Structure 1
């Protein structure tokens, strides 16, 4: 799995329209915090128990069909890295993780979106 900085991931997605962009955060994060434009939602973990989603692999296989690259994003890049390793373990040949995720690392005041990440870099996002 290759880690891409947010701007690199955006450029990759623009130059590889066959790639599947998966936001693997919880449903609440996806809906209420916002999400990258064009990303589909397949939760890696979700409330109330925060266990690994037993349907994650199957839903990702459907979305990616045959040998399409998968680009994963979460809040900070940690869950998406775990999800990416899981996909590689289950035969996905080309997986990318968006380093720093959608909201980025926390700053000295424990705030996000101020240091790095998809939104910090001004990349397209939406809230539905």
Structure 2
């Protein structure tokens, strides 16, 4: 799995935007749907939760099946993002175990690490870097 800093991930997505359809990266937000909608998310991201409320239990095989359904093929590049970059490590490992060959994740995720006041988006992450995002 590739580990891309937020700005690297954005540039990587942009550099592949004009590729053939099977090589355009699938950008997957693995957070719960409510997180993605109300906290904010990068534009164009597809929400496929690693786990969902109320169970909060990952289903690695089910997750990989859903990603494959969206991706269409195991060799399509997949970029994963979550809140802090932790869930994507497990989700990415599940995709690689399922046969995906080009998996990357956004280090520090969308909101980044906690600061000394237990706030996010103040040290690192997608939003901290000023990259495009939207919120419902």
In the alignment, is residue 99 of structure 1 matched against residue 82 of structure 2? no
Inter-partner Cα distance in structure 1 for 2:90 and 2:16: 23
1:1-128 counterparts in 2 under 5 A?
A: 1-17=1-17, 18-53=24-59, 55-66=62-73, 67-128=75-136
The alpha-carbon deviation at position 55 of structure 1 amounts to 3.1
CA deviations 1:4-60 (Å, max 9, x no partner) are 000000000001120000000011101110111111100001111211146311110
What do you get for the CA RMSD once the two structures are aligned?
1.0
Inter-partner Cα distance in structure 1 for 2:124 and 2:113: 6
- Any stretches of 5+ residues in structure 2 without a counterpart? 18-23
CA deviations 1:88-127 (Å, max 9, x no partner) are 0110000001000000000000000000000000000001
Secondary structure of residue in 1 paired with 2:58: coil
TM-score normalized with structure 1 length: 0.96
Secondary structure of residue in 1 paired with 2:95: helix
- Any stretches of 5+ residues in structure 1 without a counterpart? none
Shift >3 Å, 4+ stretches = none
Secondary structure of residue in 2 paired with 1:96: strand
Secondary structure of residue in 2 paired with 1:103: coil
Q: Structure 1 stretch 46-55 or stretch 3-12: which is displaced more?
A: 46-55
